[in-house]
Chains A and B, each alone.
Chain A
Amino acid sequence: MDRKRTCHGAGRPVSLVAGARLVLAGNPNVGKSVVFNHLTGNYVDVSNYPGTTVEVLRGRYQSWEVVDTPGIYGVSSFNDEERVAREVILDAGVVLNVVNATHLERDLFLTLQLADMGIPLVVALNMMDEAARAGQHIDVAALEEAIGVPVVPTVAVTGQGLAELEQVIAAARPGRVAPQLQEQLETLSKTAGSRARALLILEDDAPALEAAGLAPGGRRDEIYLERRERVDRLVSACVTRSGGGRSFSARLGRLAVNPLTGLPLLTAVIVAAYYAIGVLAAQTVVDFTEGTLMEGYYVPWIQELVGRFFSETSALGALLAGEFGLLTMTVTYLLGLLLPLVAGFYLIMAILEDSGYLPRVAVLADRALNTVGLNGRAVIPMILGFGCVTVATITTRLLGSRRERTIAVFLLALAIPCSAQLGVIAGLIAPLGARYLVFYLLTVLVVFTVVGTALHRVLPGRPTDLFIDLPPLRLPRPGNIGVKTFNRTWAFIREAGPLFAYGSLAIGVLDLAGLLATIQAAVAPITTGWLGLPPQTANAFIMGVVRRDFGAAGLYDLALSPGQTLTALITITLFVPCIASMLIISKEQGKRQGAVMWAAAFSIAFVVGGVVKHVLALVGW
């Protein structure tokens, strides 16, 4: 690519400071992670930013510490992603701004804001191939001159332009500032500490105002509109458009949001996902990992090993290797049952995420979710809930209001079974036949809708509106999918492991102390009387308090009639969220609200369970 470097930029190039921070910033889906991987190679540290589910990737490139930030459309504090990106950008030595060449009107807003912030900047003009296919010609030299920083055309996925990009990082410099802001920024930056913070103050960014002890000046709109005008002028000056064909991806993207074609497509995706997780992972893979590996080889081996030191009937022997043992049940459940299910789920999630399909599901689901007081964006925590309710609960932060978070958190806790539980439920219900499966699904769906609608009516306020950008559909890259799946699965095991251990320890102690039988007798009026289930079902519910899937699994060993199985499964599905979820819910929603939700789920589960039993008796199933 033949480019002329303009040397009369707006600011001086930065000198290379050892250990300085190179921050990657850009809109969502612009190819930032590909650039990041190119710079940092294999050694990457992924961590959730404190208090968020927002992932921050760190790596090294020469003497730079490279930080990848979540995709944002501008620097401010409208949501978690922005808050995280804002923090990282404010500490940046150099910002490498990756922009999508096909969406310059949108992407350059962030670029010009970064220029106004006065941080040394380099722009990677990515996806030049897509822009060319769409019939766009971009005058790179003019763009570079107007922004006042180096601009390098790239096609990150093929590596094109990345070597040139590396060469200009050292030439990063602050870009041109909006003329009407210059003077004020100059003055304000003396007290604010930097021009970046000064700009955020002028734009009424809440944390920046708070840090400076200032009141909002009400100028954000004016500054944004002026920047919007500059972006539009820049684009019409630097971009020439000539026809360009509609791509296959654009046509498929349209089919995905057209209700006539989109709903069948969505159904097909759900069926495929159910088959992959509910059948392939939950049955075929788990049969091997839990049945063959764990119960066939591992458990007898560890029991024999523990037996050499402690008698099987001693307290320590039972706690370590008994029915609920730390080294038997915990390890079997965690590695034999949950690991394949959770990994399978995260794999599907990563594919859906990277393909750009999820936002289109949000469009299709928006109207339905409006009836329970949510908007289309809530499909993301709801789908995640089928993986792990705990993770999904944290993700509800992406919802627009506290009201929506409350509704979503409670619906997740009540009516969304997690992947581990789903696997067990699928295993129990499949042999009963299709009508039982349909009855189960309809009951849970009715509870979801009725409870959601009731909350929507009772809680003051209204749902916030769907307002999202639809990324182009893309074929996901296997490497990226693999890394994501591995990182998330590993994080899940690391977090769930200790909780599992505590849970089995608690049940083991209850069992040793003979309390399990006492509790069974005490709750018999509910289990045997109201639900018509055998008294041992109480064990399943006690275990269900620790983990909902422990509860469902506890039903495996009981000789239940098909009707009893259905009643028990519906009750355990709606039953209280697991301990891990409860901890997160209390943290997110407050202890009191958490307690109310727990009690409500408990009551609703048994009321609905009893009603199901009586309905089944009436229809004679």
Chain B
Amino acid sequence: MPFTLDMLPVGRHGRITGLPGGVVRSQAIRFGLAEGASILLYERIPRGPVVIRRGLQEIAIGRALARSITVDSE
């Protein structure tokens, strides 16, 4: 099973390895979340969205979307 963003523990860094397609993908690239980007899992709402940090920027990602983003734990 691939390791996805929603599985990353709070406070852990990860490197994005795969993103879904379409407009979400374009939006992700604009936010700086292309493949290879390093992020920090900042906060997690139980069964809800995760909040990640990249630099000083915070981005909230719905749980279902987080499940479709694959990461390598760092």
Contacts and interface: CB of A to CB of B under 8 A. Distances in A.
Interface in B56-74: 56-65
Contacts of A221: 21, 25-26, 29
A433 B62 CA distance: 40
B11 to A, nearest CB: 12
A359 interface: yes
Nearest to B27: A467
Given A254-B42, A258-B43, A467-B62, A363 B29 contact: no
Given A257-B45, A366-B49, A469 B58 contact: yes
B55 A363 contact: no
Contacts of B56: 102-103, 134, 250
Given A465-B24, A466-B65, A468-B59, A224 B45 contact: no
Q: Which of B29, B55, B56, B60 has the most CB of A within 10 A?
A: B56
A94 interface: no
A465 B26 contact: no
Q: Interface SS of chain B: helix, strand, loop or mixed?
A: mixed
Interface in A322-379: 359, 362-364, 366-367, 370, 375-376
Contact of A103 (B21, B55, B62): B55
Interface residues of B, number: 32
Contact of B57 (A78, A224, A469): A469
B32 A363 contact: no
A73 B31 contact: yes
B63 to A, nearest CB: 8
B15 interface: no
Contacts of B58: 253, 469-470
B57 A228 contact: no
Interface in B13-69: 21, 23-32, 34, 42-43, 45-49, 51, 54-65
Given A103-B55, A105-B55, A78 B27 contact: yes
B26 A224 contact: yes
Interface string A225-267: 1011101100000000000000000100110011100000000
Contacts of B42: 254
Nearest to B60: A363
Contacts of B26: 74, 76, 78, 220-221, 224
A376 B60 contact: yes
A36 interface: no
A253 B60 CA distance: 12
Contacts of A254: 42-43
B6 to A, nearest CB: 12
Interface residues of A, number: 42
Given A257-B45, A466-B65, A228 B34 contact: yes
Contacts of B60: 257, 359, 362-363, 366, 376, 466-470
Contacts of A462: 64
A105 B26 CA distance: 15
B21 to A, nearest CB: 8
A224 B24 CA distance: 13
A106 interface: yes
A598 interface: no
B71 to A, nearest CB: 16
Nearest to B42: A254
A225 B47 CA distance: 31
B30 A74 contact: yes
Nearest to A108: B32
A105 B57 contact: yes
B16 to A, nearest CB: 12
Contacts of B31: 73, 106, 469
A109 interface: yes
B51 A467 contact: no
B42 to A, nearest CB: 7
Interface in A48-97: 73-74, 76, 78
B64 A465 contact: yes
A468 B31 CA distance: 9
Contact of A228 (B24, B32, B55, B62): B32
B57 A106 contact: yes
Interface in A146-187: none
B39 to A, nearest CB: 11
B59 A366 contact: no
A376 B63 CA distance: 11
A363 B45 contact: yes
Contacts of B43: 254, 257-258
A77 to B, nearest CB: 10
B62 A366 contact: yes
Contacts of A105: 32, 54-55, 57
Contacts of B59: 467-470
A23 B23 CA distance: 26
A225 B63 CA distance: 24
Contact of B45 (A229, A259, A468): A259
A413 to B, nearest CB: 26
Nearest to B56: A102
Contacts of B54: 105
17 contacts: A73-B31, A105-B55, A221-B29, A228-B30, A259-B45, A363-B51, A367-B45, A367-B49, A465-B62, A466-B49, A466-B61, A466-B62, A467-B28, A467-B61, A469-B31, A470-B58, A470-B60
Given A375-B62, A470-B51, 20 more contacts: A76-B26, A105-B55, A253-B58, A257-B45, A257-B51, A258-B43, A259-B46, A359-B60, A362-B60, A363-B51, A366-B60, A465-B62, A465-B65, A466-B60, A466-B65, A467-B27, A467-B59, A467-B60, A468-B59, A469-B31
Q: Which 8 A-B pairs have the closest CB atoms?
A: A465-B65, A466-B62, A367-B48, A465-B62, A470-B58, A105-B32, A73-B30, A224-B29
